[in-house]
Amino acid sequence: MQDIPFESVLPGLYDKNNHYGCAYIGETRFAGSGAVEVVSPNDGLVFACIETAAQKQINIVVESARQAYQQWSSVPAPKRGELVRLFAGQLRKFKEPLARIITLEAGKPLQESLGEVQELIDVCDFAVGLSRQLYGLTIATERVNHRMMEQWHPIGPVLVITAFNFPMAVWGWNAALALVCGNSLIWKPSSQCPLSALACHALLLAAIDEFGGNRALSSVVFGGKPQVEMLVDNKNIALVSATGSCAMGRAVGTRVAARMGRSLLELGGNNAMILCPSADLELAVRAITFSALGTSGQRCTTLRRLFVEQTIKENIITKLQAVYATVKIGDPFDQQNLMGPVINQQAVDVMLASIKAAVAQGGKLLAGGQVVTDKKGFYITPAIIEIDAQAEIVQKETFAPLLYIHSYHCLEQAVKEQNSVDQGLSSAIFTRDISEAELFLSAKGSDCGIANVNIGTSGAEIGGAFGGEKDTGGGRESGSDAWKNYMRRCTNTINYGSELPLAQGISFELPENI
């Protein structure tokens, strides 16, 4: 097991026995039930234990967050931005140890983990600027001596549910924006990555202390499905932002809607790239490799389906087989390895089952798909399968390094087949033909929330709103105007005259003797 300086990034929360509670409000630790062992995918060894929260602890957390919100919402937004600026300073100070925690828990290559921490820093910087740009509108009114405008107000405690694959950055997208918008935070992280959550929580507490704020602005709750249900059912939680599978999002969204709550869902992607004959093939192969293999194929933006024009298909297959044969797989702390493990044995089993199903449905295994038996942990070689785009297995997202290749005759056919799946997160086209690029970006082109030209499907910057359509959930996080998710809009009309004209020219006159 790698030596990770937990204590340096978990001030006040570090447990020398690596046994952590079920919930944290500030540094206050709550004891829960059971002891869930957390296993590193790198070597299959237990590195921590966590407890799970009961309804009592969850009620305390939510009420504490509600009270903290009431204080925080009255702080001017630029001042709230100052807290996020201080937090970014803490992240910069501990960038490398934070990255090493991610690599321990999620099995990401260290370079990718460093990139994730940098993404968290970047979104904090974005949010600091945003704290002076929470603009409303002045709206033209049809009534004389009236003014109409919009204001945006904080909404309350924000629950952030995160997955294992980006254990810090996705929380950061939500946390940085929610804080500058005037809300408090409750974090339900993946049980695979408790130390990532506690490390970020601890550094945020350090920033809150320096700012002079209320530590109850930040809480962490551990648990599984029962704990998620207790949280999302609580009417005092103003927004539930959930990242994970489509099935998880559908269940969360249904429960939140049942209480007329608000949800922000970032769910699965079954992402595609279209490769045209005019493309720069060397550039495309590099993009395919990173998009398909980054984070061991466990990104929501991972490339799953590659549509190749029929005249260049064999050339591309040969190039990809050669590249895949050179991919080094192993300890993600060793920077010579391009790929680390998948998250657990279940991920290995699901990938093997998908390969078996694809072959049974007419697919041809072109590369990889073998379990790595000479290493401890959960390692498997990345696979390429040539298969019909309409095969049943292709319609599902396999969260693993499994790439399907399809051939096409004309671009319109490729776009139609790309759009035929239920998910709609990320997409890309490689072409040097401006007409092909513009068709892909038009309303008749990609139906995804992200559509790229001559770059891969993964690796989004924080400045653009991130999210997708259809079963991907329709939410948008991070950049652009995603801040509006964390606020409520209020339309104001002010009459500064002495008359009471009604809209639409309606006349409603009372008798003169009243």
pLDDT tens readout for residues 468-479: 999 999 999 999
Our CA angle for 214, 126, 231, nearest 5°, is 50
The token pair at 332 is 């993600």
C-alpha to C-alpha distance for 154 and 213, rounded to whole angstroms? 17
3-state SS, residue 266: strand
Per the annotation, the verdict on 300 as an active-site residue is yes
Q: What is the CA radius of gyration of the chain?
A: 25
How many other CB atoms are there within 10 angstroms of residue 463's CB atom? 12
How many other CB atoms are there within 10 angstroms of residue 497's CB atom? 11
C-alpha to C-alpha distance for 212 and 134, rounded to whole angstroms? 23
Q: Got the DSSP string for 377-439?
A: S--B--EEEE--TT-GGGGS---SSEEEEEEESSHHHHHHHHTTSSEESEEEEE-S-HHHHHH
C-alpha to C-alpha distance for 320 and 51, rounded to whole angstroms? 45
pLDDT of residue 2: 62
**Count of helices and strands (H, E) across the chain:** 14, 24
Per the annotation, the verdict on 266 as an active-site residue is yes
Closest CA to 358 of 322, 323, 311, 406: 406
pLDDT of residue 298: 98
pLDDT of residue 461: 92
Catalytic residue, candidates 119, 300, 386, 417? 300
Residue 204, C-beta contacts closer than 8 angstroms, at least 6 positions apart: 87, 90, 175, 217, 218
Catalytic residue, candidates 82, 105, 119, 266? 266
The token pair at 256 is 């939140």
Place of tokens 């990255």: 99
Residues of the chain with pLDDT under 70: 1-2, 514
| Whether 14 contacts 195, CB under 8 Å | no
C-alpha to C-alpha distance for 442 and 64, rounded to whole angstroms? 47
Q: In what order do the strands lie in the sheet with 146-154?
A: 138-139, 146-154, 487-495
First-residue to last-residue Cα distance in the chain: 85
The token pair at 31 is 């004891």
Buried b (16+ CB within 10 A) or exposed e, 2-38: eebebeebbeebbeeeeebbbbbbbeebbebeeebeb
pLDDT of residue 514: 63
Q: How far, in Å, are 45, 149, 342, 501 from residue 107 at the CA level? A: 12, 49, 7, 65
The token pair at 129 is 């600027």
Q: Assign 3-state DSSP to the chain and report helix, strand, coil percentages, each to 5.
A: 40, 20, 40
Residue 341, C-beta contacts closer than 8 angstroms, at least 6 positions apart: 41, 42, 107, 296, 332, 377, 378, 379
**Domains within the chain, CATH numbers bracketed:** 6-267+473-490 (3.40.605.10), 271-465 (3.40.309.10)
pLDDT of residue 6: 84
